[in-house]
Structure 1
Amino acid sequence: MDIFETIRSEMPTMRKSEQKVADLVLRSPDVVMNGSISEAATLAETSDPTVVRFCKQLGLKGFMELKLRLASAHPIDKTVLEDITETDSVNSIFTNVMRSVVEAVSSTERGMDRRMLEDAVDTMVAATRWEFYGMGGSGVIALDAHHKFFRLGVSCVAYNDSHMQVMSAAQLDENAVAVVISHSGATKDIIESAEIAKKTGAKVIGILGKKNSEVAKHCDIPLCVSSREIALRLAPKAGRLMQLALLDTLFVAVAMRLVNEEGFDRLDKVKRALLGKII
Protein backbone atom coordinates (compact mmCIF):
# COMPACT_ATOMS: atom_id res chain seq x y z
CA MET A 1 0.00 0.00 0.00
CA ASP A 2 1.55 3.34 -1.05
CA ILE A 3 1.39 6.46 1.11
CA PHE A 4 -1.69 7.86 -0.65
CA GLU A 5 -3.69 4.66 -0.15
CA THR A 6 -2.58 4.56 3.48
CA ILE A 7 -3.80 8.12 4.03
CA ARG A 8 -7.20 7.41 2.46
CA SER A 9 -7.68 4.25 4.52
CA GLU A 10 -6.71 5.97 7.78
CA MET A 11 -8.67 9.21 7.27
CA PRO A 12 -11.96 7.97 8.80
CA THR A 13 -10.20 7.27 12.12
CA MET A 14 -8.39 10.61 12.24
CA ARG A 15 -9.36 13.70 14.21
CA LYS A 16 -10.80 16.56 12.19
CA SER A 17 -7.57 18.55 12.54
CA GLU A 18 -5.54 15.60 11.23
CA GLN A 19 -7.99 15.15 8.36
CA LYS A 20 -7.14 18.71 7.30
CA VAL A 21 -3.52 17.64 6.98
CA ALA A 22 -4.58 14.54 5.04
CA ASP A 23 -6.60 16.69 2.64
CA LEU A 24 -3.59 18.94 2.06
CA VAL A 25 -1.28 16.01 1.36
CA LEU A 26 -3.72 14.38 -1.06
CA ARG A 27 -4.52 17.68 -2.77
CA SER A 28 -1.01 19.20 -2.93
CA PRO A 29 1.68 16.56 -2.34
CA ASP A 30 4.33 18.71 -4.08
CA VAL A 31 3.72 21.56 -1.64
CA VAL A 32 4.11 19.27 1.37
CA MET A 33 7.10 17.49 -0.17
CA ASN A 34 9.01 20.72 -0.73
CA GLY A 35 7.94 22.67 2.35
CA SER A 36 8.60 22.67 6.08
CA ILE A 37 6.37 21.21 8.77
CA SER A 38 5.32 24.73 9.78
CA GLU A 39 4.35 25.60 6.22
CA ALA A 40 2.26 22.42 6.00
CA ALA A 41 0.56 23.24 9.32
CA THR A 42 -0.24 26.77 8.18
CA LEU A 43 -1.68 25.64 4.86
CA ALA A 44 -3.79 23.00 6.61
CA GLU A 45 -4.91 25.59 9.17
CA THR A 46 -3.66 23.49 12.05
CA SER A 47 -0.51 23.18 14.21
CA ASP A 48 2.94 21.57 13.98
CA PRO A 49 2.06 18.93 16.66
CA THR A 50 -1.04 17.99 14.65
CA VAL A 51 1.13 17.34 11.58
CA VAL A 52 3.38 15.16 13.73
CA ARG A 53 0.35 13.22 15.06
CA PHE A 54 -0.85 12.78 11.48
CA CYS A 55 2.51 11.22 10.56
CA LYS A 56 2.40 8.90 13.58
CA GLN A 57 -1.13 7.84 12.62
CA LEU A 58 0.32 6.63 9.33
CA GLY A 59 3.03 4.65 11.10
CA LEU A 60 5.77 7.09 10.13
CA LYS A 61 8.60 8.32 12.35
CA GLY A 62 7.97 11.95 11.50
CA PHE A 63 7.47 14.65 8.89
CA MET A 64 10.74 13.95 7.06
CA GLU A 65 9.74 10.34 6.48
CA LEU A 66 6.41 11.57 5.12
CA LYS A 67 8.26 13.79 2.64
CA LEU A 68 10.48 10.92 1.54
CA ARG A 69 7.48 8.60 1.12
CA LEU A 70 5.72 11.27 -0.96
CA ALA A 71 8.82 11.74 -3.09
CA SER A 72 8.99 8.02 -3.85
CA ALA A 73 5.25 7.58 -4.44
CA HIS A 74 4.40 10.80 -6.26
CA PRO A 75 4.45 10.29 -10.04
CA ILE A 76 7.58 11.81 -11.56
CA ASP A 77 7.05 13.33 -14.97
CA LYS A 78 9.69 14.20 -17.51
CA THR A 79 10.63 17.39 -15.68
CA VAL A 80 13.97 16.97 -13.97
CA LEU A 81 14.71 20.57 -13.05
CA GLU A 82 11.95 23.19 -13.16
CA ASP A 83 11.68 23.87 -16.93
CA ILE A 84 14.18 21.22 -18.08
CA THR A 85 13.20 17.81 -19.45
CA GLU A 86 15.31 14.81 -20.35
CA THR A 87 14.78 15.50 -24.05
CA ASP A 88 16.32 19.00 -23.91
CA SER A 89 19.62 19.67 -25.66
CA VAL A 90 22.77 20.59 -23.74
CA ASN A 91 22.49 24.10 -25.15
CA SER A 92 18.93 24.42 -23.85
CA ILE A 93 19.93 23.10 -20.42
CA PHE A 94 22.85 25.55 -20.26
CA THR A 95 20.56 28.47 -21.10
CA ASN A 96 17.98 27.39 -18.50
CA VAL A 97 20.57 26.96 -15.76
CA MET A 98 22.13 30.36 -16.49
CA ARG A 99 18.71 32.03 -16.45
CA SER A 100 17.83 30.39 -13.13
CA VAL A 101 21.06 31.74 -11.64
CA VAL A 102 20.35 35.26 -12.94
CA GLU A 103 16.80 35.03 -11.55
CA ALA A 104 18.11 33.86 -8.17
CA VAL A 105 20.67 36.67 -8.02
CA SER A 106 18.04 39.30 -8.77
CA SER A 107 15.51 37.83 -6.35
CA THR A 108 18.06 37.44 -3.54
CA GLU A 109 19.30 41.01 -3.97
CA ARG A 110 15.75 42.39 -3.85
CA GLY A 111 14.65 40.24 -0.94
CA MET A 112 17.67 40.40 1.36
CA ASP A 113 17.03 42.05 4.72
CA ARG A 114 19.87 44.60 4.71
CA ARG A 115 19.47 45.43 8.40
CA MET A 116 19.79 41.76 9.30
CA LEU A 117 22.84 41.51 7.04
CA GLU A 118 24.44 44.41 8.93
CA ASP A 119 23.64 42.66 12.22
CA ALA A 120 25.35 39.50 10.97
CA VAL A 121 28.52 41.43 10.12
CA ASP A 122 28.51 43.22 13.50
CA THR A 123 28.02 39.92 15.29
CA MET A 124 30.90 38.22 13.49
CA VAL A 125 33.22 41.18 14.00
CA ALA A 126 32.54 41.10 17.75
CA ALA A 127 33.08 37.34 18.09
CA THR A 128 36.28 35.56 19.10
CA ARG A 129 35.35 32.28 17.42
CA TRP A 130 33.48 31.33 14.26
CA GLU A 131 32.10 27.88 13.50
CA PHE A 132 30.42 26.82 10.25
CA TYR A 133 28.03 23.84 10.15
CA GLY A 134 26.56 22.16 7.09
CA MET A 135 25.53 18.68 5.93
CA GLY A 136 25.79 17.16 2.46
CA GLY A 137 26.01 19.88 -0.19
CA SER A 138 25.77 22.54 2.51
CA GLY A 139 28.76 20.90 4.19
CA VAL A 140 30.84 21.79 1.13
CA ILE A 141 29.70 25.41 1.49
CA ALA A 142 30.71 25.37 5.17
CA LEU A 143 34.20 24.18 4.20
CA ASP A 144 34.44 26.93 1.59
CA ALA A 145 33.50 29.50 4.24
CA HIS A 146 36.25 28.19 6.51
CA HIS A 147 38.71 28.39 3.60
CA LYS A 148 38.01 32.15 3.44
CA PHE A 149 37.40 33.22 7.03
CA PHE A 150 40.31 31.45 8.74
CA ARG A 151 42.71 33.91 7.05
CA LEU A 152 41.35 36.80 9.13
CA GLY A 153 43.06 35.74 12.36
CA VAL A 154 39.94 34.75 14.30
CA SER A 155 39.64 31.18 15.60
CA CYS A 156 37.63 29.43 12.89
CA VAL A 157 36.52 25.89 12.01
CA ALA A 158 33.98 24.09 9.81
CA TYR A 159 32.27 20.77 10.51
CA ASN A 160 30.19 18.65 8.13
CA ASP A 161 29.92 15.72 10.55
CA SER A 162 26.86 15.78 12.82
CA HIS A 163 28.66 14.32 15.83
CA MET A 164 31.50 16.84 15.59
CA GLN A 165 28.97 19.66 15.22
CA VAL A 166 27.06 18.92 18.41
CA MET A 167 30.23 18.25 20.44
CA SER A 168 31.76 21.53 19.32
CA ALA A 169 28.50 23.50 19.61
CA ALA A 170 28.14 22.36 23.23
CA GLN A 171 31.47 24.02 24.05
CA LEU A 172 30.69 27.44 22.59
CA ASP A 173 30.00 30.55 24.68
CA GLU A 174 28.60 34.04 24.31
CA ASN A 175 31.72 35.17 22.45
CA ALA A 176 31.23 32.66 19.64
CA VAL A 177 29.20 32.62 16.43
CA ALA A 178 27.82 29.47 14.83
CA VAL A 179 26.90 29.85 11.15
CA VAL A 180 24.47 27.09 10.15
CA ILE A 181 23.93 26.42 6.46
CA SER A 182 20.87 24.61 5.09
CA HIS A 183 19.03 25.09 1.82
CA SER A 184 15.93 23.22 2.98
CA GLY A 185 16.06 24.49 6.55
CA ALA A 186 14.73 21.12 7.64
CA THR A 187 17.88 19.02 8.15
CA LYS A 188 17.53 17.39 11.56
CA ASP A 189 21.25 17.47 12.38
CA ILE A 190 21.56 21.17 11.59
CA ILE A 191 18.47 21.98 13.66
CA GLU A 192 20.01 20.12 16.60
CA SER A 193 23.40 21.83 16.19
CA ALA A 194 21.78 25.28 16.02
CA GLU A 195 19.66 24.55 19.10
CA ILE A 196 22.67 23.40 21.13
CA ALA A 197 24.81 26.37 20.05
CA LYS A 198 22.08 28.83 21.01
CA LYS A 199 21.71 27.29 24.47
CA THR A 200 25.40 28.02 25.18
CA GLY A 201 24.82 31.72 24.58
CA ALA A 202 26.52 31.75 21.18
CA LYS A 203 24.96 33.78 18.38
CA VAL A 204 23.54 31.66 15.58
CA ILE A 205 23.52 32.98 12.01
CA GLY A 206 21.58 31.00 9.40
CA ILE A 207 22.40 30.84 5.69
CA LEU A 208 19.08 29.43 4.55
CA GLY A 209 16.75 28.90 1.63
CA LYS A 210 13.46 29.30 3.53
CA LYS A 211 12.45 32.11 5.88
CA ASN A 212 9.94 30.04 7.84
CA SER A 213 12.02 26.87 8.12
CA GLU A 214 12.66 24.86 11.26
CA VAL A 215 16.32 25.90 11.37
CA ALA A 216 15.34 29.58 11.19
CA LYS A 217 13.49 29.21 14.51
CA HIS A 218 16.83 28.56 16.23
CA CYS A 219 18.74 31.37 14.50
CA ASP A 220 19.32 34.81 15.99
CA ILE A 221 19.99 36.12 12.49
CA PRO A 222 18.37 34.06 9.68
CA LEU A 223 19.68 35.22 6.28
CA CYS A 224 17.65 33.78 3.41
CA VAL A 225 18.58 33.48 -0.24
CA SER A 226 16.05 33.04 -3.01
CA SER A 227 15.94 30.35 -5.69
CA ARG A 228 13.25 28.37 -7.49
CA GLU A 229 14.22 24.73 -7.20
CA ILE A 230 12.64 21.32 -6.69
CA ALA A 231 13.72 19.69 -3.44
CA LEU A 232 14.35 15.97 -2.95
CA ARG A 233 15.12 15.45 -6.65
CA LEU A 234 18.41 17.00 -7.70
CA ALA A 235 20.71 19.00 -5.47
CA PRO A 236 20.06 22.77 -5.41
CA LYS A 237 22.13 24.64 -7.98
CA ALA A 238 21.19 28.34 -7.92
CA GLY A 239 20.48 28.16 -4.17
CA ARG A 240 23.98 26.85 -3.54
CA LEU A 241 25.50 29.69 -5.57
CA MET A 242 23.44 32.26 -3.67
CA GLN A 243 24.62 30.85 -0.34
CA LEU A 244 28.23 31.08 -1.53
CA ALA A 245 27.66 34.67 -2.68
CA LEU A 246 26.10 35.58 0.66
CA LEU A 247 29.07 34.12 2.55
CA ASP A 248 31.41 36.03 0.21
CA THR A 249 29.54 39.22 1.15
CA LEU A 250 29.96 38.47 4.85
CA PHE A 251 33.64 37.66 4.37
CA VAL A 252 34.46 40.89 2.52
CA ALA A 253 32.44 43.03 4.93
CA VAL A 254 33.99 41.39 8.02
CA ALA A 255 37.48 41.60 6.50
CA MET A 256 37.09 45.33 5.85
CA ARG A 257 36.21 45.83 9.51
CA LEU A 258 38.82 43.52 11.03
CA VAL A 259 41.90 43.74 8.87
CA ASN A 260 44.42 46.34 10.06
CA GLU A 261 48.10 46.69 9.12
CA GLU A 262 48.94 43.48 10.98
CA GLY A 263 46.05 41.72 9.26
CA PHE A 264 47.18 42.80 5.82
CA ASP A 265 50.64 41.44 6.63
CA ARG A 266 49.03 38.10 7.56
CA LEU A 267 47.10 38.01 4.27
CA ASP A 268 50.30 38.81 2.38
CA LYS A 269 52.03 35.88 4.09
CA VAL A 270 49.22 33.58 2.99
CA LYS A 271 49.47 34.89 -0.57
CA ARG A 272 53.24 34.38 -0.66
CA ALA A 273 52.84 30.84 0.65
CA LEU A 274 50.32 30.08 -2.11
CA LEU A 275 52.61 31.54 -4.77
CA GLY A 276 55.10 28.83 -3.83
CA LYS A 277 52.56 26.25 -5.04
CA ILE A 278 52.50 27.68 -8.56
CA ILE A 279 54.91 26.35 -11.18
Structure 2
Amino acid sequence: MQEQISSAMGELSPAERKVAQLVIADPDAAMTGTLAHVARRAGVSEPTVVRFCRSLGLEGFGDLRMALARTDQRPRMHRRVEANTPVSEVAGAVLGTAIAALENLQKTLDPTVIERAAPALVRASRVEIWGFGASAAVAQDLAHKLFRVCRGVVARSDPHMQAMAAATLDGDAVALCISHTGRSRELVEAAQLARQAGATVLSVTRPGSPLAEVSTLLVPVEVEEDTELHTPMVSRLAHLVMGDALAVAVALLSPPAADERLARMKAALKPRRTE
Protein backbone atom coordinates (compact mmCIF):
# COMPACT_ATOMS: atom_id res chain seq x y z
CA MET A 1 0.00 0.00 0.00
CA GLN A 2 2.84 2.38 0.80
CA GLU A 3 4.40 1.64 -2.59
CA GLN A 4 1.09 2.52 -4.22
CA ILE A 5 1.01 5.82 -2.33
CA SER A 6 4.61 6.61 -3.30
CA SER A 7 3.95 5.91 -6.98
CA ALA A 8 0.87 8.18 -6.95
CA MET A 9 2.73 11.06 -5.28
CA GLY A 10 3.26 12.99 -8.53
CA GLU A 11 -0.47 13.02 -9.31
CA LEU A 12 -1.53 14.35 -5.90
CA SER A 13 -2.23 17.96 -5.02
CA PRO A 14 0.20 19.67 -2.63
CA ALA A 15 -2.29 19.23 0.25
CA GLU A 16 -2.88 15.56 -0.59
CA ARG A 17 0.88 15.01 -0.68
CA LYS A 18 1.02 16.12 2.98
CA VAL A 19 -1.39 13.34 3.83
CA ALA A 20 0.61 10.87 1.75
CA GLN A 21 3.84 11.81 3.49
CA LEU A 22 2.22 11.35 6.89
CA VAL A 23 0.79 7.93 6.00
CA ILE A 24 4.15 6.73 4.64
CA ALA A 25 6.07 8.03 7.65
CA ASP A 26 3.53 6.92 10.27
CA PRO A 27 1.00 4.37 8.95
CA ASP A 28 -0.21 3.76 12.52
CA ALA A 29 -1.59 7.31 12.51
CA ALA A 30 -4.05 6.26 9.80
CA MET A 31 -4.67 2.72 11.07
CA THR A 32 -5.49 3.71 14.66
CA GLY A 33 -6.41 7.39 14.44
CA THR A 34 -9.57 9.13 13.37
CA LEU A 35 -10.14 11.16 10.22
CA ALA A 36 -9.88 14.35 12.29
CA HIS A 37 -6.65 13.14 13.89
CA VAL A 38 -4.99 12.42 10.53
CA ALA A 39 -6.11 15.76 9.11
CA ARG A 40 -4.73 17.57 12.15
CA ARG A 41 -1.42 15.71 12.00
CA ALA A 42 -1.03 16.42 8.28
CA GLY A 43 -2.07 20.07 8.64
CA VAL A 44 -4.93 19.79 6.14
CA SER A 45 -8.72 19.67 6.19
CA GLU A 46 -10.75 16.48 6.61
CA PRO A 47 -12.14 16.71 3.04
CA THR A 48 -8.53 16.77 1.80
CA VAL A 49 -7.87 13.45 3.55
CA VAL A 50 -10.96 11.99 1.87
CA ARG A 51 -9.84 13.32 -1.54
CA PHE A 52 -6.44 11.73 -0.96
CA CYS A 53 -8.12 8.38 -0.33
CA ARG A 54 -10.19 8.68 -3.49
CA SER A 55 -7.08 9.59 -5.48
CA LEU A 56 -5.83 6.11 -4.57
CA GLY A 57 -9.04 4.53 -5.84
CA LEU A 58 -10.52 4.06 -2.37
CA GLU A 59 -14.02 5.00 -1.27
CA GLY A 60 -12.93 6.89 1.82
CA PHE A 61 -10.86 6.98 4.97
CA GLY A 62 -12.24 3.68 6.30
CA ASP A 63 -11.03 1.87 3.18
CA LEU A 64 -7.58 3.41 3.61
CA ARG A 65 -7.34 2.08 7.17
CA MET A 66 -8.37 -1.42 6.10
CA ALA A 67 -5.98 -1.41 3.13
CA LEU A 68 -3.07 -0.39 5.34
CA ALA A 69 -3.94 -3.05 7.91
CA ARG A 70 -4.17 -5.77 5.26
CA THR A 71 -0.76 -4.99 3.80
CA ASP A 72 1.05 -4.19 7.06
CA GLN A 73 3.85 -6.74 7.56
CA ARG A 74 5.64 -4.96 10.41
CA PRO A 75 5.66 -6.23 14.00
CA ARG A 76 2.46 -4.98 15.63
CA MET A 77 2.86 -1.64 17.36
CA HIS A 78 0.23 0.22 19.30
CA ARG A 79 -0.37 3.66 20.68
CA ARG A 80 -0.23 3.79 24.45
CA VAL A 81 -2.73 5.77 26.46
CA GLU A 82 -0.84 8.83 27.66
CA ALA A 83 -1.91 11.62 30.00
CA ASN A 84 -2.46 13.91 26.99
CA THR A 85 -4.21 11.35 24.77
CA PRO A 86 -7.33 12.95 23.20
CA VAL A 87 -10.53 11.28 24.31
CA SER A 88 -11.39 10.71 20.64
CA GLU A 89 -8.34 8.42 20.36
CA VAL A 90 -8.80 6.48 23.60
CA ALA A 91 -10.86 3.63 22.10
CA GLY A 92 -8.28 3.01 19.37
CA ALA A 93 -5.41 3.11 21.87
CA VAL A 94 -7.15 0.73 24.27
CA LEU A 95 -7.93 -1.71 21.45
CA GLY A 96 -4.38 -1.44 20.21
CA THR A 97 -3.02 -2.25 23.66
CA ALA A 98 -5.28 -5.30 23.96
CA ILE A 99 -4.48 -6.57 20.46
CA ALA A 100 -0.73 -6.14 20.96
CA ALA A 101 -0.85 -8.03 24.26
CA LEU A 102 -2.77 -10.95 22.75
CA GLU A 103 -0.51 -11.08 19.70
CA ASN A 104 2.55 -11.22 21.96
CA LEU A 105 0.90 -13.99 23.97
CA GLN A 106 0.25 -15.94 20.77
CA LYS A 107 3.89 -15.62 19.73
CA THR A 108 5.14 -17.03 23.03
CA LEU A 109 2.44 -19.70 23.43
CA ASP A 110 3.56 -23.29 23.90
CA PRO A 111 0.57 -25.42 22.73
CA THR A 112 1.79 -28.40 24.72
CA VAL A 113 0.89 -26.72 28.02
CA ILE A 114 -2.81 -26.95 27.14
CA GLU A 115 -2.29 -30.57 26.08
CA ARG A 116 -0.90 -31.37 29.52
CA ALA A 117 -3.39 -29.30 31.52
CA ALA A 118 -6.69 -30.31 29.88
CA PRO A 119 -6.53 -34.05 30.74
CA ALA A 120 -5.97 -33.22 34.42
CA LEU A 121 -9.21 -31.22 34.41
CA VAL A 122 -11.09 -33.99 32.59
CA ARG A 123 -9.99 -36.60 35.15
CA ALA A 124 -10.60 -34.42 38.20
CA SER A 125 -13.45 -35.28 40.56
CA ARG A 126 -13.34 -31.70 41.87
CA VAL A 127 -12.05 -28.45 40.38
CA GLU A 128 -11.37 -25.46 42.63
CA ILE A 129 -10.65 -22.18 40.77
CA TRP A 130 -9.00 -19.40 42.80
CA GLY A 131 -8.12 -15.78 42.10
CA PHE A 132 -8.09 -12.32 43.70
CA GLY A 133 -9.12 -8.92 42.30
CA ALA A 134 -9.37 -8.94 38.50
CA SER A 135 -8.35 -12.60 38.57
CA ALA A 136 -11.44 -13.37 40.67
CA ALA A 137 -13.62 -12.28 37.75
CA VAL A 138 -11.59 -14.52 35.43
CA ALA A 139 -12.03 -17.40 37.88
CA GLN A 140 -15.81 -16.93 37.90
CA ASP A 141 -15.89 -16.82 34.11
CA LEU A 142 -13.82 -19.99 33.80
CA ALA A 143 -15.94 -21.76 36.42
CA HIS A 144 -19.04 -20.98 34.37
CA LYS A 145 -17.42 -22.60 31.31
CA LEU A 146 -15.92 -25.65 33.06
CA PHE A 147 -19.08 -26.28 35.10
CA ARG A 148 -20.63 -27.76 31.98
CA VAL A 149 -17.89 -30.32 31.29
CA CYS A 150 -16.03 -30.89 34.59
CA ARG A 151 -17.13 -32.24 37.97
CA GLY A 152 -17.34 -30.33 41.24
CA VAL A 153 -16.40 -26.94 39.80
CA VAL A 154 -16.42 -23.91 42.12
CA ALA A 155 -14.71 -20.49 42.03
CA ARG A 156 -13.48 -18.80 45.21
CA SER A 157 -12.01 -15.35 45.81
CA ASP A 158 -11.93 -15.32 49.62
CA PRO A 159 -8.47 -16.34 50.94
CA HIS A 160 -9.90 -18.06 54.04
CA MET A 161 -12.28 -20.16 51.94
CA GLN A 162 -9.44 -21.00 49.56
CA ALA A 163 -7.26 -22.20 52.44
CA MET A 164 -10.06 -24.28 53.99
CA ALA A 165 -10.97 -25.76 50.61
CA ALA A 166 -7.31 -26.61 49.95
CA ALA A 167 -7.19 -28.62 53.16
CA THR A 168 -10.08 -30.81 51.97
CA LEU A 169 -8.65 -31.71 48.55
CA ASP A 170 -7.20 -35.06 47.57
CA GLY A 171 -5.31 -36.68 44.71
CA ASP A 172 -8.33 -36.61 42.41
CA ALA A 173 -8.78 -32.81 42.68
CA VAL A 174 -7.36 -29.87 40.74
CA ALA A 175 -6.72 -26.42 42.22
CA LEU A 176 -6.66 -23.97 39.32
CA CYS A 177 -4.94 -20.76 40.44
CA ILE A 178 -5.06 -17.53 38.41
CA SER A 179 -2.74 -14.59 39.14
CA HIS A 180 -1.05 -11.88 37.09
CA THR A 181 2.02 -11.50 39.32
CA GLY A 182 2.02 -14.94 40.94
CA ARG A 183 3.14 -13.25 44.16
CA SER A 184 -0.12 -13.10 46.16
CA ARG A 185 0.95 -14.63 49.47
CA GLU A 186 -2.46 -16.04 50.38
CA LEU A 187 -2.88 -17.67 46.98
CA VAL A 188 0.61 -19.18 47.08
CA GLU A 189 -0.06 -20.58 50.55
CA ALA A 190 -3.40 -22.07 49.44
CA ALA A 191 -1.65 -23.65 46.45
CA GLN A 192 0.97 -25.13 48.77
CA LEU A 193 -1.76 -26.59 51.00
CA ALA A 194 -3.48 -28.10 47.95
CA ARG A 195 -0.19 -29.60 46.76
CA GLN A 196 0.48 -31.08 50.21
CA ALA A 197 -3.01 -32.60 50.19
CA GLY A 198 -2.11 -34.43 46.98
CA ALA A 199 -4.11 -32.30 44.56
CA THR A 200 -2.85 -31.17 41.17
CA VAL A 201 -2.09 -27.43 41.25
CA LEU A 202 -2.64 -25.90 37.81
CA SER A 203 -1.66 -22.23 37.61
CA VAL A 204 -2.21 -19.57 34.97
CA THR A 205 0.41 -17.05 35.95
CA ARG A 206 3.80 -15.47 35.33
CA PRO A 207 6.61 -18.00 34.86
CA GLY A 208 9.30 -17.92 37.54
CA SER A 209 6.90 -16.50 40.14
CA PRO A 210 6.35 -18.05 43.59
CA LEU A 211 2.99 -19.42 42.45
CA ALA A 212 4.58 -20.96 39.37
CA GLU A 213 7.24 -22.61 41.55
CA VAL A 214 4.67 -24.44 43.73
CA SER A 215 2.52 -25.54 40.77
CA THR A 216 2.25 -29.04 39.37
CA LEU A 217 1.27 -27.71 35.93
CA LEU A 218 1.89 -24.20 34.60
CA VAL A 219 0.13 -22.25 31.85
CA PRO A 220 2.62 -19.36 31.55
CA VAL A 221 1.19 -15.91 30.85
CA GLU A 222 3.61 -12.99 31.02
CA VAL A 223 2.00 -9.62 30.32
CA GLU A 224 3.26 -6.19 31.32
CA GLU A 225 0.69 -3.88 32.87
CA ASP A 226 0.79 -0.07 32.70
CA THR A 227 -0.19 0.99 36.21
CA GLU A 228 0.38 4.72 35.77
CA LEU A 229 -2.87 5.46 33.93
CA HIS A 230 -6.38 4.06 33.69
CA THR A 231 -5.36 1.59 31.01
CA PRO A 232 -7.03 -1.82 30.57
CA MET A 233 -5.69 -4.73 32.60
CA VAL A 234 -4.41 -6.71 29.65
CA SER A 235 -3.40 -9.59 31.90
CA ARG A 236 -7.12 -10.12 32.56
CA LEU A 237 -7.72 -10.40 28.81
CA ALA A 238 -4.82 -12.81 28.41
CA HIS A 239 -6.09 -14.96 31.28
CA LEU A 240 -9.62 -15.00 29.84
CA VAL A 241 -8.27 -16.21 26.50
CA MET A 242 -6.14 -18.94 28.09
CA GLY A 243 -9.15 -19.94 30.17
CA ASP A 244 -11.17 -20.26 26.98
CA ALA A 245 -8.41 -22.41 25.49
CA LEU A 246 -8.53 -24.71 28.52
CA ALA A 247 -12.33 -24.92 28.40
CA VAL A 248 -12.38 -25.78 24.70
CA ALA A 249 -9.64 -28.40 25.11
CA VAL A 250 -11.50 -29.98 28.02
CA ALA A 251 -14.72 -30.06 26.00
CA LEU A 252 -12.94 -31.83 23.14
CA LEU A 253 -11.50 -34.43 25.52
CA SER A 254 -14.62 -34.90 27.64
CA PRO A 255 -16.09 -38.40 27.73
CA PRO A 256 -19.71 -39.16 26.72
CA ALA A 257 -20.77 -38.74 30.36
CA ALA A 258 -19.95 -35.03 30.11
CA ASP A 259 -22.17 -34.70 27.04
CA GLU A 260 -24.98 -36.44 28.88
CA ARG A 261 -24.56 -34.10 31.86
CA LEU A 262 -24.68 -31.09 29.56
CA ALA A 263 -27.87 -32.41 27.93
CA ARG A 264 -29.48 -32.76 31.36
CA MET A 265 -28.47 -29.18 32.22
CA LYS A 266 -30.09 -27.88 29.06
CA ALA A 267 -33.23 -29.88 29.74
CA ALA A 268 -33.43 -28.46 33.26
CA LEU A 269 -33.49 -24.93 31.83
CA LYS A 270 -36.49 -25.56 29.57
CA PRO A 271 -39.77 -24.02 30.85
CA ARG A 272 -41.79 -26.64 32.65
CA ARG A 273 -45.34 -27.17 31.42
CA THR A 274 -48.07 -26.87 34.00
CA GLU A 275 -51.02 -29.21 33.99
Query: 1:54-85 deviations in whole A, cap 9, x for unaligned?
Result: xxxxxxxxxxxxxxxxxxxxxxxxxxxx9212
Contact 1:205 1:220 in 2 (8 A): yes
Higher relative contact order structure (alpha carbons within 8 Å, sequence separation ≥ 6): 1
Task: Give 1:186 shift.
Answer: 1.0
- Structure 2 unaligned blocks of 5 or more: 1-78
The equivalent residue for 1:228 is: 224
Alpha carbons of 1:89 and 1:270: their partners in 2 closer, same or farther (altered >3 Å)?
farther
The equivalent residue for 1:18 is: none
- Structure 1 unaligned blocks of 5 or more: 1-81
Match of 1:182 among 179, 184, 191: 179
Structure exhibiting the larger radius of gyration computed from Cα positions: 2
Q: Distance in 2 between matches of 1:222 and 1:235?
A: 27
Instruction: Letter of the 2:261 partner, please give it.
Output: R
The equivalent residue for 1:85 is: 82
Alpha carbons of 1:231 and 1:205: their partners in 2 closer, same or farther (altered >3 Å)?
farther
Match of 1:109 among 90, 106, 109: 106
Instruction: Letter of the 2:258 partner, please give it.
Output: G
Alpha carbons of 1:178 and 1:232: their partners in 2 closer, same or farther (altered >3 Å)?
farther
Q: Secondary structure of 2:141's partner? A: helix
Q: Secondary structure of 1:147's partner? A: helix
The equivalent residue for 2:236 is: 240
The equivalent residue for 1:267 is: 262
The equivalent residue for 1:127 is: 124
Q: Secondary structure of 2:168's partner? A: coil
Task: Give 1:154 shift.
Answer: 0.9
Q: Secondary structure of 2:147's partner? A: helix
Q: Distance in 2 between matches of 1:136 and 1:193?
A: 16
Instruction: Letter of the 1:106 partner, please give it.
Output: E
Instruction: Letter of the 1:182 partner, please give it.
Output: S
Alpha carbons of 1:268 and 1:84: their partners in 2 closer, same or farther (altered >3 Å)?
same
Contact 1:116 1:223 in 2 (8 A): yes
1:167 maps to 2:164:
yes
Instruction: Letter of the 1:141 partner, please give it.
Output: V
Identity of aligned residues (%): 32
Alpha carbons of 1:237 and 1:274: their partners in 2 closer, same or farther (altered >3 Å)?
farther
Q: Distance in 1 between matches of 2:160 and 2:243?
A: 24
Instruction: Letter of the 1:264 partner, please give it.
Output: D
Contact 1:134 1:182 in 2 (8 A): yes
Q: Distance in 1 between matches of 2:142 and 2:127?
A: 10
1:144 maps to 2:141:
yes
* Structure 2 counterparts to residues 10-25 of structure 1, below 5 A: none
Task: Give 1:228 shift.
Answer: 3.0
Q: Which moved more, 1:107-116 or 1:157-166?
A: 107-116
Alpha carbons of 1:122 and 1:223: their partners in 2 closer, same or farther (altered >3 Å)?
same
Contact 2:80 2:94 in 1 (8 A): no
RMSD: 2.3
The equivalent residue for 1:155 is: 152
Q: Distance in 2 between matches of 1:182 and 1:233?
A: 21
Task: Give 1:238 shift.
Answer: 1.7
Contact 1:133 1:142 in 2 (8 A): yes
Contact 2:194 2:201 in 1 (8 A): yes
Q: Distance in 2 between matches of 1:89 and 1:235?
A: 14
Report how many residues are paired: 194
Q: Secondary structure of 1:88's partner? A: coil
The equivalent residue for 1:53 is: none
Query: 1:19-62 deviations in whole A, cap 9, x for unaligned?
Result: xxxxxxxxxxxxxxxxxxxxxxxxxxxxxxxxxxxxxxxxxxxx
TM value normalised by structure 2: 0.65
Task: Give 1:89 shift.
Answer: 2.0
